[in-house]
Amino acid sequence: MRVYGIVEGARRINDIWKENGVNVRIVITDKRYVSSFQDAYEEFLSKQPLGQAGDFFVNSYVYIPTLAEEGYILDITNYAKAYGKLIDDFYPTLIKACEYKGRLYGLPQDTEARPLYVRKDVAEKIGLDVKTLPEKVRAGEFTWKDVYYWAKKAKDEGYVEWGLIHRKGSAHPDLIQFIFAFGGKLYDEKTGKLVLDVPAVYKWLFVEWKFARDGLIPKDMMAWDWAKQIHPTIVEGKTLFDIGGTWYWTEWQMKKYYHGRSLTPEEVKEWFAYTLFPAGEKGDKPVTLSQPFVWMINSKAGQQNPKYDELKDIYHELAFLVIVKASDPDINAIHSIISAHLPVRKEAAKLLKDETWLEELKRMNVDLDPTVKQNIKDIVEKTVNPINAQFLANVSYMLEYTHLAPAHPKYPALADIFTDAVDKVLRGEMTPEKAVEYVIQKVKADPDLSKNVEIVGKIPENWTFP
């Protein structure tokens, strides 16, 4: 649905024109969807200067600074002025993610939160009250020390194989939540530099290390396979906690992770509770992390028209209108519910709470392009139901606690080093102290990186966990 937003947006404009007798049509000729966002970005990067890239581009907000700096995407600040109401309807953090140096370069398309899922049946057996848990986490009373306590208890009493499961292969984005949860920073707005917050990073690595040493998290977590190990372990109830994303909710309903079948919405609801990512320790705040996706417009949109020079402004304005239409509340709401991503605007969130609308959608009684309808039919059938809508409504408060990873071109290099360090502490190849030194050494070894990263703080003395 992500890509179809634009198809649908164009169709709606065409319809409006038709009603008003305007004899111009927008035709969307090429739609691409690849699941690797990095690949899509690189393709856009090299093809944009050639005039071969698409007119619209939906990708992570992290690419905005680079693309804007190179002049590859359109500055839509002026067009957006006429649409103040619409802009205000988006969540402010998300609009902020679309800005670069005070100018607006895109409209949010979707976002997500990364909850901590708790297995309800296990929690009950060990006496962890999941009803009050989200509130306790929110208030910062339930911290990672408690997560450790309960994980250990569940494991010691033999109810689960693992206490905690998390993503594989990369520290970004799920695991860097630890940095924020321990009150750390990754980016300094004043200097525009990345920050290596030594105390927070140390505490994060210590937690991972401790969990792995006590057998609560697999030592080889970073090498696990998503479909064969991570998801089955979670849905089959072999772990008490897991750090996941909102999209897990529907993914479990779509893919056959549970003994060869997928879960029903009821099962998901009955088996899993979810909270914010807890605060590191008392005095810290709970967090979550989002990576909004953003509609961007190629600065060369319309260039293939021979009269481009005369029509340039019209083309640009038109392109803006298309992404405005692609952000229509219903399009956004449909995308949210079928992919378990969070809506980016309040109007869409409202629709998700509207049961009649959901019913209509389930029956495909909505104003959509026929091909789009055809293509999303199966998935709508599987995912559109009150339980999933309720879930989205329930987690949307998390956006108030959300953090964004820095949109800094050097951030991926830093995140890579973190990945390495996490792997090493989990395996026990390094103690947390050694791993932090390793990270610092790695940063300093690269002149480019050390120029862009400020190293702050020291390893805290006498800090204990749990």
Partner 1 sequence: MRDIETKSRKSELLIILTIVIASVPMILAFSLLVLSSFSEEMVTNLKSFRPTLENWINLFQGKMAITGSIRVNIFEITLNTLIVALGVAGLVTIVSTLAGYALSRMDFRGRKHVMIALLVLHAFPGVALIVGVYLLYKLTLPQDPDLMRFYSFFYVILARGALEIPMSVWLMKGFFDAIPWEFEWSGIIDGASRITVWRKIMLPLVKPGILAVALFAFIAGWQDIIYVRTFLIDQTLATFIESNIESEFSHMPLIAAAGTLYLLPTIVFFLIAQRILLQGYSGGLKG
Partner 2 sequence: MLVMVLIFYLIPLVMTVYLSFTSMKNWNVKYLFDLVGFYNYHRLFYMFQHDPSFKAIVLTTIVFILITLVVNVFGGLGLALGTFFLSDIVGSKFRLLWLLPRIAPIAVYSLVWYYFFHETSIGTLNSILMELGIIHQPIPWGQIIPWGAWSVIIFVNGLVGVSFGMIVFTSALNQIPKELVIAARVDGASAWTISKRILIPLLKWHLLYVLTWQFLSLLTTYCHLFLLVEWNLVNRDYGTTLALYVYNTAFLGGELDQGLAAAVILSVIGVSGGFLTLKLLGFEKMMKRPRGDV
Which stretches of the chain bind partner 1, using CB under 8 A?
Answer: 1-4, 31-40, 42-43, 46-47, 49-52, 167, 169, 225-228, 247, 251, 254-256, 260, 304, 338-339, 375-376, 379
39: closest CA among 65, 56, 60, 55? 60
> Residue 149: how many CB atoms within 10 A of its CB?
16
Could you say which of partner 1, partner 2, none residue 444 binds, taking C-beta under 5 to 8 angstroms by partner kind? partner 2
Stretch in the footprint of partner 2 (CB under 8 A) among 65-73, 114-122, 152-160, 286-294: 65-73
Q: Can residue 222 be called a binding residue for partner 2 (CB under 8 A)?
A: yes
CA 442 to the chain's CA centroid: 27
- Specify the residue, 51 or 412, whose C-beta has the smaller distance to partner 1: 51
The least CB distance from residue 169 to partner 1, in Å, is 7
Distance CA 452, CA 444 (A): 10
How many residues belong to the site for partner 2 (CB under 8 A)? 33
Could you say which of partner 2, partner 1, none residue 147 binds, taking C-beta under 5 to 8 angstroms by partner kind? none
Q: Site for partner 2 (CB under 8 A): which residue of 16, 223, 311, 314?
A: 223
Sheet holding 56-60, edge to edge: 56-60, 293-297, 107-110
Whose structure tokens read 């002149």? Answer: 447
Q: Site for partner 2 (CB under 8 A): which residue of 228, 261, 282, 307?
A: 228
Q: Can residue 446 be called a binding residue for partner 2 (CB under 8 A)?
A: yes
Distance CA 233, CA 213 (A): 19
- The first and second tokens of residue 134, run together, are 């989200």
Site string for partner 2, 153-182 (x = CB under 8 A): ---------------xx-------------
In contact, 219 and 426? CB cutoff 8 Å: yes
DSSP sequence for 141-205: -SBHHHHHHHHHHHHHTTS-SEEEE---S--TTTTTHHHHHTT--SEETTTTEEEEEHHHHHHHH
The least CB distance from residue 218 to partner 2, in Å, is 8
Q: Site for partner 2 (CB under 8 A): which residue of 224, 247, 254, 330?
A: 224
Q: What do you get for the CA distance between the two ends of the chain, in Å?
A: 44
Q: Can residue 42 be called a binding residue for partner 2 (CB under 8 A)?
A: yes
In contact, 277 and 286? CB cutoff 8 Å: yes
Q: Can residue 236 be called a binding residue for partner 2 (CB under 8 A)?
A: no
Interface residues for partner 2 in 389-428 (CB under 8 A)?
A: 409-410, 412-413, 416, 420, 423, 427
CA–CA distance from 129 to each of 150, 154, 158, 160, 284 (Å)?
A: 11, 13, 19, 17, 22
Question: Which residues sit at the interface with partner 2, rule CB under 8 A?
Answer: 42, 45-46, 48-49, 66, 70, 72, 168-169, 220, 222-225, 228-229, 409-410, 412-413, 416, 420, 423, 427, 438, 441-442, 444-448
